[in-house]
């Protein structure tokens, strides 16, 4: 351990993604900035009997490319996605974990629901074949912290390791807590991020009965089904995947000549303490999280150029989030670009915050803000500048905001790094 230094600067040096819009950062970013949707007809099970049959699916993914096939068979899909994204990010960073540094290399990597599919598979095996049909490995490989454990095994990282779970805010909290672990001196590098694989029948039914899922406008194609902040929005689309960011101590990253994508400069976390599903009046919990992220290290509110919002396309959720943004930024709200990438990926649940952090960092790195698809009819109750076309812009600060079931709110801010 090193001496804590809460002014220690933390930067992003590598990224990896497995997502409905691509299974590497170049493909995913190209699809985002060009407004290519990853939404389509659900194929993981027969959804013809259900009202909703759309999803943001990961395609052309083979777990054996990233893991030992035996370990892959024993573990949940969420673990597969998490390991793949983490290994991509580590390779992208150029950071080599060795015997000399492995105890300073951490993993802070979450999952909203854990290996639920693995549990259901073993429940069915028990009913069909009796107790001998249940795998002796399913409990260890189906936990919420199984991805963080397997990532450590696969990469050799033996430092600080944990999995923060805050439902749909999971990705945001894991990346931000990873930065705080570096500032505390627990480690010098962290593999951070989150993963989720919710595309199975029971979860689909649950969200249908919750009235959370949306449908296309009459006469519009499937990709129109998720339309954040649009007046006609009526729910989200389930998505899946993972994203990982490699975080490092700035001085050590510079010393090894690392490419720096952006700096992590703000983090806020707050609870609604209100309801397990509905957001608090006025989005006050989300507002407090964003204010905390701004104030923690003195980020100027008037320099936030883009917000990647939670933006799930639910009628009440988007309204409350818009109210939260207005309460934080006031009259400047209409000058901040809102880039709601769930319009292309669907709601990746616990992986959403990590993927949207990736999108925010890439907006800074490439100087381009991705559009929000399907925003055709502005809603006066939201009254935000929701960008419809990609915008070329030098982004100074990008804020990524997430809101999780149970009233968990997280906000993280990234800053352009110009060598200063």
Enumerate the domain spans of the chain.
Answer: 10-255, 266-415
Over residues 192-233, the pLDDT tens digits come to: 999 999 999 999 999 999 999 999 999 998 999 999 999 999
The pLDDT-based confidence of 53 (bands split at 50, 70, 90) is very high
Candidate list 347, 368, 382, 408, residue with the active-site label: 347
**Residue 179: pLDDT above 80?**
yes
Of 356, 359, 340, give the one whose Cα is nearest residue 233. Answer: 340
Task: Choose which CATH entry (3.30.420.40, 3.30.1360.40, 3.40.50.1980, 3.40.47.10) describes domain 266-415.
Answer: 3.40.47.10
For 270, the 3-state DSSP assignment is strand
pLDDT of residue 280: 96
**Rounded CA Rg of the chain:** 20
User: pLDDT value at position 2?
Assistant: 87
User: In the chain, what's the furthest Cα-to-Cα distance?
Assistant: 64
Asked if 368 is an active-site residue, the reply is no
pLDDT in tens, 84-141: 999 999 999 999 999 999 999 999 999 999 999 999 999 999 999 999 999 999 999 9
Beginning with the edge strand found earlier in the chain, give each strand of the sheet holding 105-111 in spatial order: 161-162, 105-111, 189-196, 241-249, 10-18, 262-271, 408-415, 397-404, 304-308, 337-338, 385-386
- What's the CATH architecture for 10-255? 3-Layer(aba) Sandwich (3.40)
Annotated catalytic residue within 52, 53, 80, 168: 168
Catalytic site includes residue 310: yes
Same fold, 10-255 and 266-415: yes
> Which pLDDT tens digit goes with each residue over 343-375?
999 999 999 999 999 999 999 999 999 999 999
- In terms of phi and psi (left: phi > 0; alpha: psi -120 to 50; beta: otherwise), the region of 419 is left
In this model, does residue 304 exceed pLDDT 80?
Answer: yes
Q: Which pTM does this prediction carry?
A: 0.97
Say whether pLDDT at 1 is over 80: no
Give the Cα separation of 341 and 386 in Å (integer): 11
What is the percent of the chain where pLDDT is above 90? 97
Of 52, 80, 204, 310, which one is the catalytic site residue? 310
Is 408 marked active-site? no
Q: Give the pLDDT score at 70.
A: 92
420: pLDDT strictly greater than 90: no
Give the closest residue to 277 by CA, choosing from 376, 370, 209. Answer: 209
């Amino acid at each position: 351990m090193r001496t804590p230094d809460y002014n220690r600067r933390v930067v992003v040096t590598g990224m990896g993604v497995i997502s409905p819009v691509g299974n590497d950062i170049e493909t995913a970013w190209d699809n985002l900035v060009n407004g290519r949707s990853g939404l389509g007809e659900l194929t993981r099970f027969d959804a013809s009997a259900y009202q909703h049959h759309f999803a943001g699916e990961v395609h052309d993914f083979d777990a054996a490319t990233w893991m030992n096939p035996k370990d892959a068979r024993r573990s949940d899909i969420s673990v597969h996605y998490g390991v793949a994204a983490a290994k991509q990010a580590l390779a992208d960073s150029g950071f080599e974990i060795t015997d000399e540094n492995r105890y300073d290399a951490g993993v802070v990597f979450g999952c909203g629901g854990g290996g639920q599919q693995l549990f259901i598979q073993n429940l069915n095996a028990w009913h069909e074949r009796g107790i001998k049909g249940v795998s002796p490995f399913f409990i260890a490989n189906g936990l919420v912290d199984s991805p963080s454990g397997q990532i450590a095994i696969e990469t050799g990282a033996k430092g600080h390791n944990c999995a923060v779970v805050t439902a749909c805010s999971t990705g945001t909290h894991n990346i931000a807590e990873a930065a705080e672990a570096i500032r505390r001196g627990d480690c010098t590098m962290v593999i951070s991020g989150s993963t989720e694989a919710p595309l199975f029948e029971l979860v689909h039914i649950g969200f249908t009965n919750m009235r959370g899922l949306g449908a296309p406008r009459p006469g519009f194609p499937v990709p129109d089904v998720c339309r954040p902040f649009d007046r006609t929005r009526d729910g989200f689309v389930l998505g899946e995947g993972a994203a990982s960011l490699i975080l490092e101590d700035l001085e050590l990253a510079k010393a090894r000549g690392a490419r720096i994508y952006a700096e992590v400069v703000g983090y806020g976390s707050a609870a609604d303490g209100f309801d397990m599903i509905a957001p608090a009046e006025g989005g006050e919990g989300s507002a407090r999280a964003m204010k905390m992220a701004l104030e923690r290290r003195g980020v100027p509110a008037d320099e936030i150029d883009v917000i990647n919002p939670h933006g799930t396309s639910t009628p009440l959720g988007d309204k409350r989030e818009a109210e939260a943004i207005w309460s934080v930024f006031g009259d400047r709200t209409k000058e901040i670009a809102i880039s709601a990438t769930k319009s292309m990926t669907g709601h990746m649940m616990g992986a959403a915050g990590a993927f949207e952090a990736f999108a925010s960092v890439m907006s800074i790195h490439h100087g381009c803000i991705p559009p929000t698809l399907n925003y055709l009819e502005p809603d006066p109750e939201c009254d935000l500048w929701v960008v419809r076309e990609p915008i070329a812009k030098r982004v100074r600060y990008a804020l990524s905001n997430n809101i999780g079931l149970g009233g968990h709110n997280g906000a993280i801010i990234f800053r352009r790094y110009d060598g200063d």
